[in-house]
Structure 1
Amino acid sequence: MHKELKLIEDYLIHFDKENSKISKANVGWHLDHSLKVVNSVSEFLINSDPKAYKKTFSFSRVITFALGIFPRGKVQAPKRVLPPESILKKDLVDQIELVKINLKLLENIENNKYFVHPIFKQLNKKQALQFLKIHTNHHLKIVKDILN
Protein backbone atom coordinates (compact mmCIF):
# COMPACT_ATOMS: atom_id res chain seq x y z
CA MET A 1 0.00 0.00 0.00
CA HIS A 2 3.00 2.32 0.26
CA LYS A 3 3.24 2.72 -3.52
CA GLU A 4 -0.46 3.56 -3.71
CA LEU A 5 -0.20 6.04 -0.87
CA LYS A 6 2.69 7.79 -2.65
CA LEU A 7 0.54 8.10 -5.79
CA ILE A 8 -2.30 9.59 -3.75
CA GLU A 9 0.14 12.15 -2.34
CA ASP A 10 1.38 12.93 -5.87
CA TYR A 11 -2.20 13.45 -7.12
CA LEU A 12 -3.09 15.89 -4.32
CA ILE A 13 -2.12 18.88 -6.45
CA HIS A 14 -4.87 17.88 -8.91
CA PHE A 15 -7.61 17.32 -6.30
CA ASP A 16 -10.04 19.77 -7.94
CA LYS A 17 -9.65 18.45 -11.51
CA GLU A 18 -12.61 16.79 -13.18
CA ASN A 19 -13.57 15.07 -16.41
CA SER A 20 -17.27 14.20 -16.68
CA LYS A 21 -16.58 11.77 -19.55
CA ILE A 22 -14.63 9.59 -17.10
CA SER A 23 -16.36 10.15 -13.76
CA LYS A 24 -19.10 12.26 -12.20
CA ALA A 25 -16.68 12.85 -9.31
CA ASN A 26 -13.48 14.87 -9.34
CA VAL A 27 -9.97 13.71 -8.39
CA GLY A 28 -10.43 14.85 -4.77
CA TRP A 29 -13.53 12.69 -4.40
CA HIS A 30 -11.65 9.56 -5.53
CA LEU A 31 -8.67 10.33 -3.28
CA ASP A 32 -10.90 11.09 -0.27
CA HIS A 33 -12.98 7.95 -0.79
CA SER A 34 -9.87 5.77 -1.14
CA LEU A 35 -8.36 7.18 2.04
CA LYS A 36 -11.63 6.79 3.95
CA VAL A 37 -11.84 3.14 2.88
CA VAL A 38 -8.25 2.41 3.96
CA ASN A 39 -8.79 4.06 7.34
CA SER A 40 -12.22 2.49 7.90
CA VAL A 41 -11.04 -1.03 7.03
CA SER A 42 -7.88 -0.55 9.12
CA GLU A 43 -9.86 0.50 12.18
CA PHE A 44 -12.23 -2.45 11.77
CA LEU A 45 -9.27 -4.86 11.43
CA ILE A 46 -7.44 -3.43 14.43
CA ASN A 47 -10.53 -3.64 16.64
CA SER A 48 -11.81 -7.04 15.47
CA ASP A 49 -11.73 -10.20 17.57
CA PRO A 50 -9.61 -12.81 15.76
CA LYS A 51 -11.57 -15.57 17.56
CA ALA A 52 -14.72 -14.43 15.73
CA TYR A 53 -13.12 -14.87 12.29
CA LYS A 54 -14.72 -17.63 10.23
CA LYS A 55 -13.21 -18.59 6.90
CA THR A 56 -15.85 -18.14 4.22
CA PHE A 57 -16.07 -18.70 0.49
CA SER A 58 -17.10 -15.90 -1.83
CA PHE A 59 -17.13 -16.51 -5.58
CA SER A 60 -17.09 -12.74 -6.19
CA ARG A 61 -14.01 -12.40 -3.99
CA VAL A 62 -12.17 -15.23 -5.73
CA ILE A 63 -12.80 -13.72 -9.18
CA THR A 64 -12.08 -10.13 -8.14
CA PHE A 65 -8.90 -11.00 -6.28
CA ALA A 66 -7.68 -13.25 -9.11
CA LEU A 67 -8.24 -10.51 -11.69
CA GLY A 68 -7.07 -7.76 -9.34
CA ILE A 69 -9.67 -5.31 -10.62
CA PHE A 70 -13.17 -4.00 -9.90
CA PRO A 71 -15.55 -3.15 -12.74
CA ARG A 72 -16.31 0.58 -12.90
CA GLY A 73 -19.65 1.92 -11.77
CA LYS A 74 -21.12 -1.39 -10.58
CA VAL A 75 -21.11 -0.99 -6.78
CA GLN A 76 -22.36 1.83 -4.56
CA ALA A 77 -20.00 2.79 -1.71
CA PRO A 78 -21.38 2.65 1.85
CA LYS A 79 -22.30 6.08 3.25
CA ARG A 80 -19.58 5.97 5.91
CA VAL A 81 -16.86 6.10 3.25
CA LEU A 82 -18.45 8.68 0.97
CA PRO A 83 -16.64 12.01 0.74
CA PRO A 84 -18.30 15.21 1.98
CA GLU A 85 -19.83 17.77 -0.41
CA SER A 86 -16.78 19.98 -0.08
CA ILE A 87 -13.35 18.32 0.01
CA LEU A 88 -10.48 20.28 1.48
CA LYS A 89 -6.86 19.54 0.64
CA LYS A 90 -6.00 19.76 4.36
CA ASP A 91 -8.53 16.99 5.11
CA LEU A 92 -6.87 14.78 2.49
CA VAL A 93 -3.43 15.45 4.02
CA ASP A 94 -4.79 14.60 7.50
CA GLN A 95 -6.28 11.34 6.18
CA ILE A 96 -2.97 10.43 4.55
CA GLU A 97 -1.23 10.84 7.90
CA LEU A 98 -3.83 8.59 9.54
CA VAL A 99 -3.34 5.98 6.79
CA LYS A 100 0.41 5.97 7.53
CA ILE A 101 -0.30 5.35 11.23
CA ASN A 102 -2.85 2.63 10.46
CA LEU A 103 -0.59 0.82 7.99
CA LYS A 104 2.12 0.73 10.66
CA LEU A 105 -0.36 -0.68 13.20
CA LEU A 106 -1.57 -3.33 10.74
CA GLU A 107 1.94 -4.75 10.40
CA ASN A 108 1.71 -6.18 13.92
CA ILE A 109 -1.87 -7.42 14.21
CA GLU A 110 -2.83 -11.09 14.21
CA ASN A 111 -3.54 -12.78 10.87
CA ASN A 112 -7.13 -13.66 11.83
CA LYS A 113 -8.13 -10.11 12.64
CA TYR A 114 -10.78 -9.44 10.03
CA PHE A 115 -12.98 -6.97 8.19
CA VAL A 116 -16.53 -7.66 6.99
CA HIS A 117 -17.10 -6.56 3.40
CA PRO A 118 -20.73 -6.30 2.17
CA ILE A 119 -20.02 -8.48 -0.90
CA PHE A 120 -16.84 -10.43 -0.06
CA LYS A 121 -17.92 -11.22 3.54
CA GLN A 122 -15.20 -11.76 6.19
CA LEU A 123 -11.71 -10.91 4.98
CA ASN A 124 -8.77 -11.80 7.20
CA LYS A 125 -5.77 -9.48 7.47
CA LYS A 126 -4.09 -10.73 4.30
CA GLN A 127 -7.30 -10.63 2.27
CA ALA A 128 -8.26 -7.21 3.64
CA LEU A 129 -4.89 -5.78 2.65
CA GLN A 130 -5.31 -7.28 -0.82
CA PHE A 131 -8.79 -5.73 -1.03
CA LEU A 132 -7.38 -2.33 -0.03
CA LYS A 133 -4.73 -2.53 -2.71
CA ILE A 134 -7.22 -3.51 -5.44
CA HIS A 135 -9.74 -0.88 -4.31
CA THR A 136 -7.16 1.91 -4.10
CA ASN A 137 -5.70 1.03 -7.49
CA HIS A 138 -9.22 1.04 -8.95
CA HIS A 139 -9.66 4.67 -7.90
CA LEU A 140 -6.11 5.64 -8.86
CA LYS A 141 -6.79 4.36 -12.39
CA ILE A 142 -9.89 6.55 -12.54
CA VAL A 143 -7.85 9.53 -11.33
CA LYS A 144 -5.23 8.85 -13.99
CA ASP A 145 -7.95 8.71 -16.65
CA ILE A 146 -9.46 11.98 -15.40
CA LEU A 147 -6.08 13.67 -15.73
CA ASN A 148 -5.30 12.30 -19.23
Structure 2
Amino acid sequence: MKEIDELINQLEANIEFENLTDLTISKVAVGWHIDHSLKVLNGVIAVLKNSNPEEYKKKFNLMKELIFLLGFIPRGKAKAPKAVRSFEIITKEDLLSQVATAKKSSTEIQNLNSKSFFKHPHFNDLNLKETLYFLKLHTKHHLKIIDDIKKGSK
Protein backbone atom coordinates (compact mmCIF):
# COMPACT_ATOMS: atom_id res chain seq x y z
CA MET A 1 0.00 0.00 0.00
CA LYS A 2 3.10 2.15 -0.04
CA GLU A 3 2.33 3.51 -3.52
CA ILE A 4 -1.24 4.45 -2.50
CA ASP A 5 0.20 6.23 0.56
CA GLU A 6 2.65 8.15 -1.65
CA LEU A 7 -0.18 9.20 -3.97
CA ILE A 8 -2.24 10.40 -0.99
CA ASN A 9 0.79 12.42 0.17
CA GLN A 10 1.07 13.97 -3.31
CA LEU A 11 -2.60 14.95 -3.22
CA GLU A 12 -2.06 16.48 0.22
CA ALA A 13 1.00 18.41 -0.99
CA ASN A 14 -1.11 20.01 -3.73
CA ILE A 15 -3.78 21.35 -1.36
CA GLU A 16 -1.93 24.67 -1.22
CA PHE A 17 -2.77 25.07 -4.94
CA GLU A 18 -6.48 24.27 -4.46
CA ASN A 19 -7.72 27.46 -6.14
CA LEU A 20 -5.48 27.30 -9.22
CA THR A 21 -7.22 26.96 -12.55
CA ASP A 22 -6.24 26.77 -16.20
CA LEU A 23 -9.29 26.43 -18.42
CA THR A 24 -7.13 25.18 -21.30
CA ILE A 25 -6.35 22.12 -19.17
CA SER A 26 -9.48 21.57 -17.07
CA LYS A 27 -12.86 23.21 -16.44
CA VAL A 28 -12.31 22.85 -12.69
CA ALA A 29 -9.68 23.94 -10.16
CA VAL A 30 -6.94 21.86 -8.57
CA GLY A 31 -9.06 21.55 -5.42
CA TRP A 32 -11.80 19.75 -7.37
CA HIS A 33 -9.30 17.17 -8.68
CA ILE A 34 -7.96 16.59 -5.17
CA ASP A 35 -11.48 16.32 -3.73
CA HIS A 36 -12.59 13.93 -6.48
CA SER A 37 -9.50 11.74 -6.12
CA LEU A 38 -9.94 11.51 -2.36
CA LYS A 39 -13.67 10.79 -2.68
CA VAL A 40 -12.81 7.93 -5.06
CA LEU A 41 -10.07 6.55 -2.80
CA ASN A 42 -12.19 6.74 0.35
CA GLY A 43 -15.37 5.52 -1.30
CA VAL A 44 -13.79 2.60 -3.12
CA ILE A 45 -11.85 1.44 -0.06
CA ALA A 46 -15.09 1.55 1.98
CA VAL A 47 -16.80 -0.58 -0.69
CA LEU A 48 -13.89 -3.06 -0.64
CA LYS A 49 -14.12 -3.37 3.15
CA ASN A 50 -17.87 -3.97 3.01
CA SER A 51 -17.92 -6.30 0.01
CA ASN A 52 -18.74 -9.99 0.26
CA PRO A 53 -15.86 -11.85 -1.46
CA GLU A 54 -18.22 -14.75 -2.21
CA GLU A 55 -20.23 -12.46 -4.51
CA TYR A 56 -17.21 -11.49 -6.65
CA LYS A 57 -17.76 -12.34 -10.33
CA LYS A 58 -14.83 -12.27 -12.71
CA LYS A 59 -15.99 -11.12 -16.13
CA PHE A 60 -13.94 -10.11 -19.18
CA ASN A 61 -14.14 -6.40 -19.98
CA LEU A 62 -12.29 -5.11 -23.04
CA MET A 63 -12.25 -1.47 -21.87
CA LYS A 64 -10.73 -2.49 -18.53
CA GLU A 65 -8.14 -4.69 -20.24
CA LEU A 66 -7.11 -1.85 -22.58
CA ILE A 67 -6.85 0.77 -19.84
CA PHE A 68 -4.95 -1.61 -17.57
CA LEU A 69 -2.62 -2.60 -20.43
CA LEU A 70 -1.98 1.02 -21.42
CA GLY A 71 -1.35 1.93 -17.79
CA PHE A 72 -3.17 5.26 -17.96
CA ILE A 73 -6.63 6.76 -18.28
CA PRO A 74 -7.13 8.97 -21.36
CA ARG A 75 -8.33 12.49 -20.61
CA GLY A 76 -11.85 13.65 -21.27
CA LYS A 77 -13.26 10.21 -22.08
CA ALA A 78 -15.36 9.55 -18.98
CA LYS A 79 -17.60 11.53 -16.66
CA ALA A 80 -17.26 11.08 -12.92
CA PRO A 81 -20.33 9.59 -11.20
CA LYS A 82 -22.27 12.05 -9.02
CA ALA A 83 -21.20 10.23 -5.85
CA VAL A 84 -17.58 11.31 -6.40
CA ARG A 85 -18.21 14.84 -7.69
CA SER A 86 -18.46 17.87 -5.46
CA PHE A 87 -21.27 20.34 -6.01
CA GLU A 88 -20.42 22.48 -3.00
CA ILE A 89 -17.53 24.81 -2.22
CA ILE A 90 -14.45 22.71 -1.49
CA THR A 91 -12.59 23.90 1.59
CA LYS A 92 -9.03 23.25 2.67
CA GLU A 93 -10.37 21.79 5.92
CA ASP A 94 -12.55 19.32 4.02
CA LEU A 95 -9.61 18.25 1.86
CA LEU A 96 -7.41 17.74 4.92
CA SER A 97 -10.16 15.70 6.60
CA GLN A 98 -10.47 13.51 3.50
CA VAL A 99 -6.67 13.06 3.42
CA ALA A 100 -6.74 11.87 7.05
CA THR A 101 -9.51 9.39 6.21
CA ALA A 102 -7.61 8.15 3.15
CA LYS A 103 -4.41 7.63 5.15
CA LYS A 104 -6.30 5.62 7.77
CA SER A 105 -8.21 3.61 5.16
CA SER A 106 -5.09 2.73 3.18
CA THR A 107 -3.63 0.97 6.23
CA GLU A 108 -6.69 -1.31 6.37
CA ILE A 109 -6.39 -2.59 2.77
CA GLN A 110 -3.67 -5.15 3.50
CA ASN A 111 -6.02 -7.11 5.78
CA LEU A 112 -8.70 -7.60 3.13
CA ASN A 113 -9.56 -10.84 1.33
CA SER A 114 -8.06 -10.98 -2.19
CA LYS A 115 -11.59 -11.39 -3.56
CA SER A 116 -12.89 -8.29 -1.84
CA PHE A 117 -14.23 -6.29 -4.74
CA PHE A 118 -15.49 -3.02 -6.11
CA LYS A 119 -18.15 -2.84 -8.82
CA HIS A 120 -16.77 -0.25 -11.25
CA PRO A 121 -19.39 1.52 -13.41
CA HIS A 122 -17.48 0.69 -16.63
CA PHE A 123 -15.14 -2.19 -15.71
CA ASN A 124 -17.55 -4.47 -13.76
CA ASP A 125 -16.26 -6.26 -10.63
CA LEU A 126 -12.62 -5.50 -9.79
CA ASN A 127 -10.97 -7.77 -7.21
CA LEU A 128 -8.63 -6.33 -4.59
CA LYS A 129 -5.52 -6.37 -6.80
CA GLU A 130 -7.37 -4.87 -9.77
CA THR A 131 -9.03 -2.26 -7.58
CA LEU A 132 -5.70 -1.13 -6.15
CA TYR A 133 -4.29 -0.86 -9.68
CA PHE A 134 -7.33 1.16 -10.76
CA LEU A 135 -6.94 3.49 -7.76
CA LYS A 136 -3.29 4.09 -8.69
CA LEU A 137 -4.15 4.79 -12.35
CA HIS A 138 -7.04 7.05 -11.41
CA THR A 139 -5.10 9.07 -8.83
CA LYS A 140 -2.09 9.43 -11.15
CA HIS A 141 -4.47 10.61 -13.91
CA HIS A 142 -5.70 13.46 -11.70
CA LEU A 143 -2.21 14.26 -10.37
CA LYS A 144 -1.05 14.73 -13.99
CA ILE A 145 -3.94 17.11 -14.61
CA ILE A 146 -3.03 18.98 -11.40
CA ASP A 147 0.60 19.25 -12.54
CA ASP A 148 -0.49 20.57 -15.94
CA ILE A 149 -2.77 23.16 -14.30
CA LYS A 150 0.14 24.28 -12.10
CA LYS A 151 2.47 24.56 -15.13
CA GLY A 152 -0.12 26.41 -17.20
CA SER A 153 -1.09 28.93 -14.55
CA LYS A 154 2.45 30.29 -14.05
Question: What TM-score range do you get, normalising by the shorter chain?
Answer: over 0.9
1:127 matched to 2:144 = no
2:30 corresponds, among 27, 31, 44, to 27
- Deviation at residue 112 of structure 1 after TM alignment: 0.2
* Paired residue secondary structure (2:126): strand
| Percent identity of paired positions between Structure 1 and Structure 2 | 43
Q: Mind listing any 5+ residue stretches in structure 2 that lack a counterpart?
A: none
TM-score of the superposition, structure 2-length normalised?
0.94
Q: Which moved more, 1:119-128 or 1:3-12?
A: 3-12
- Deviation at residue 6 of structure 1 after TM alignment: 1.4
- Distance (whole Å) between structure 2 residues aligned to residue 34 and residue 72 of structure 1: 15
1:86 matched to 2:89 = yes
RMSD: 0.7
- Deviation at residue 85 of structure 1 after TM alignment: 2.7
* Paired residue secondary structure (1:107): helix
* Paired residue secondary structure (2:14): helix
| Aligned residue pair count | 148
2:14 corresponds, among 11, 15, 30, to 11
- Distance (whole Å) between structure 2 residues aligned to residue 69 and residue 85 of structure 1: 29
TM-score of the superposition, structure 1-length normalised?
0.98
Structure 1: which 4+ aligned runs deviate by more than 3 Å?
none
- Deviation at residue 47 of structure 1 after TM alignment: 0.1
1:101 matched to 2:95 = no
1:140 matched to 2:148 = no
- Distance (whole Å) between structure 2 residues aligned to residue 85 and residue 99 of structure 1: 20
* Counterpart in the other structure of 2:79: 76
- Distance (whole Å) between structure 1 residues aligned to residue 60 and residue 120 of structure 2: 13
